[in-house]
Structure 1
C-alpha cells in the first residue's frame, strides 16, 4: 500500500517586494507531494529559494499564492491561533546552530523551550524527565544539561537543535542544511542520527542542501530548484542514474561522487550569468546558461512534464 501524502504544495509562490514596483520571485509556482515517513531532498545553488520554501511550509512566511496541504488541511488559510496546534507537529532544524541557539540559555532551557510554549508538561518532574529523554535520544550526555551552547562543539550544538525540534514529538521536520557547517566525520554522525530517528519515529523530512553527495544518502525523492522554480523532480535513484535537465547534469558533473563518474555522464558546462529573479521574463530561467537553449525556451513558461514514471522535468527537449 502506498504511503499517505502528508505534505502537498500546489502552485506555491512567494514574492518579496523590491523597490517601488518590482518583486523578487523567490519561490515561483512549485508543486510537489511528500509521502508520510519519507524524505524529500531539495537541492540547488545558493539563492535558488530552498530555504524560503522551507519557511513557507511552516508558514514562517506568508504565502503569496498557492496552497500548502498538511494532512489534507490547507494551512495557508489558517490564522495564527488556528495554526498553533499544527505547528506543534511541524518543526525546523536550522543550518547554523550557533546562530539559532540563544547563548544566554542552557542546553536544558533550549531543548525545553517548546515544552514551555505549548505547556506540554504538567510539572517540573515531568519537564526534567522529558528533557533527559530527549538528550538521550539525540546522543547528548546529561552532564551537558546546564552547559551553554557556545561551550560545546558544532556537532553537539546541532544535536541540541535536533533535540529542540523533537521536543513536541513532531511528525514533520524541515532540515535546512543541518550538516553544512560541520566536519565530514560529524556530518555522518548527524545524518545517521536523523535517519535512525526517522525509522524509529516515522518522521517526514524536507532536507534542504546544496550538497548532492549528502542528499543522495538521506533522500527518497529529490527536487532540483533553479531561481525559484522546480526544474526536475524524481526518485533519488532515478535522478542520479538518469538526470534529464541540463542544470541537474551540470550539478552532478561538479560533484566528486565516484559512482557517478564511473558512469561517464555527458558533461554539461554551465556558462553565462544568472538570470535575475526580480521580475523575471517568461521562459526557462536556465536558458542563459544552457548549451541547448533555443527560441522555444524563451517567451513562455515551461511546465514540469512527466517523461518517465515519477520523473518530472521542465525542459523543452522533452
Structure 2
C-alpha cells in the first residue's frame, strides 16, 4: 500500500551451526505505515534484533522481501545500501558499547555527516553537531567529553543524536531503554515521541517489555522463536489478547497495587529448539491449550478480527478469554 513505508514479506534468516541450521527468523511478514510505531516484542533470543539488522542490511536475508519505499533492500548492492543509510538508522540497546570510547561526543555525532558528505566545512559540522545536541536535550558543554564521562541516559541521547544526524525516515529502536533507570527510561521515551512528531519519523521499536510498548506503539507484533504469533493495534491487543504466549507476556506485567493479586500465566514444559525445528506450533510444548493438531502442523497466521492477526488453531475460542 502507498502509505506503507516498510513491507516485510516472508522474511527468513537461517544461520549454519555445527548442530544444524538455526531458524532465527522464519517466514515473517508485516508492514509499517509512514509515521507509525510498530512495537516488536518477545523474549530474548526470539529473533527481534535479527529482523532489525535485516532491515538495515547488516545481515543478508536467506529469502523473502524487505520493501522500503517500494525498493527491495534484499536485492540491493553494497553501494545502494550505503546510500540507504541516510534514510535508515538504528539506536542500539547498550549506549556504552555502541559508542567509540576513543572518540569525543562531538566526533561521534559528526562522523555520519563526514562519511556521507552532508556538510563540508568544519564550521558547518560544528554548528550541526551543536544543533543536534540541543535537539536531544544534551548540553553542548559535553561536546569534547568522552562516553565514559557520561551517564547512561546522556550516552543514549548521544546515540539518538547520531541516528538523527542524516535526517532519516525510519529508525530501528533496538531496546533503547532497557539498560536505563526507570526515571531515565521515561525521559528517553518522551524524547523519542517528541522527535517522531517533529520530524515525521517511523519507528520499529524492539523490546521485551509490553508495559513500555503499550504507550509507545500504535501496533504491536508478538514474536516467538523466529515467528510472529500475533499482531494487532495496541489497544486491541491489550483488550483482546488471543495467542496463549501473548497472554503469558501480559500477565507478567507488574501491577502497581499491593492489594491486587496478579493472575500469572506460568509457562511450563520444554522449550522447542530453533535448530531445525519440526513442523507444528513452536509454542505447543509450553501451551496450556495445546491439542493434537498443534504438533506436526503449522498454524496459519491469519486475520481473525479487523486486522488482529494470530497464528493459533484455537484463536476463535481464545478471542473471548480474559486474563
Distance 1:141 1:108, change over 3 A: same
Q: Is the 8 A contact 2:245 2:287 kept in 1?
A: yes
- Aligned residue in 1 for 2:13: 14
Residue 189 of structure 2 aligns to a residue whose secondary structure is helix
Q: Is the 8 A contact 2:114 2:120 kept in 1?
A: no
Distance 1:267 1:98, change over 3 A: closer
Displacement of 1:88 after TM fit?
1.1
- Aligned residue in 1 for 2:290: 293
Q: After the TM superposition, which residues 131-142 of structure 1 pair with which residues of structure 2 at under 5 Å, given as runs? A: 131-142=129-140
- Work out the CA distance in 2 between the residues paired with 1:88 and 1:219: 24
Residue 8 of structure 1 aligns to a residue whose secondary structure is strand
Q: Is the 8 A contact 1:213 1:257 kept in 2?
A: no
Displacement of 1:268 after TM fit?
3.1
Displacement of 1:302 after TM fit?
1.4
Residue 100 of structure 1 aligns to a residue whose secondary structure is coil
State the Cα RMSD in Å.
1.7
State yes or no: 1:311 paired with 2:311.
no
Number of residue pairs matched by the alignment: 314
Displacement of 1:82 after TM fit?
1.6
Q: After the TM superposition, which residues 14-93 of structure 1 pair with which residues of structure 2 at under 5 Å, given as runs? A: 14-19=13-18, 22-93=20-91
- Work out the CA distance in 2 between the residues paired with 1:93 and 1:273: 34
- Work out the CA distance in 1 between the residues paired with 2:188 and 2:215: 12
- Work out the CA distance in 1 between the residues paired with 2:242 and 2:310: 7
Gaps of 5+ in 1: none
- Aligned residue in 1 for 2:267: 270
Using the TM superposition, name which of 267-276 and 41-50 deviates more.
267-276
Provide the TM-score with structure 1 as the length reference: 0.96
Q: Is the 8 A contact 1:253 1:267 kept in 2?
A: yes
- Work out the CA distance in 2 between the residues paired with 1:141 and 1:307: 49
State yes or no: 1:200 paired with 2:198.
yes
- Work out the CA distance in 2 between the residues paired with 1:45 and 1:121: 41
Distance 1:304 1:25, change over 3 A: same
Distance 1:257 1:171, change over 3 A: farther
Displacement of 1:6 after TM fit?
0.3
Q: Is the 8 A contact 1:222 1:239 kept in 2?
A: yes
- Work out the CA distance in 2 between the residues paired with 1:153 and 1:86: 31
Q: Is the 8 A contact 2:132 2:165 kept in 1?
A: yes
- Work out the CA distance in 2 between the residues paired with 1:133 and 1:292: 54
In the TM superposition, structure 1's runs of 4+ consecutive aligned residues that sit over 4 Å from their partners are 264-267
- Aligned residue in 1 for 2:319: none
Q: Is the 8 A contact 2:89 2:172 kept in 1?
A: yes
Displacement of 1:267 after TM fit?
5.2
Q: Is the 8 A contact 2:252 2:264 kept in 1?
A: no
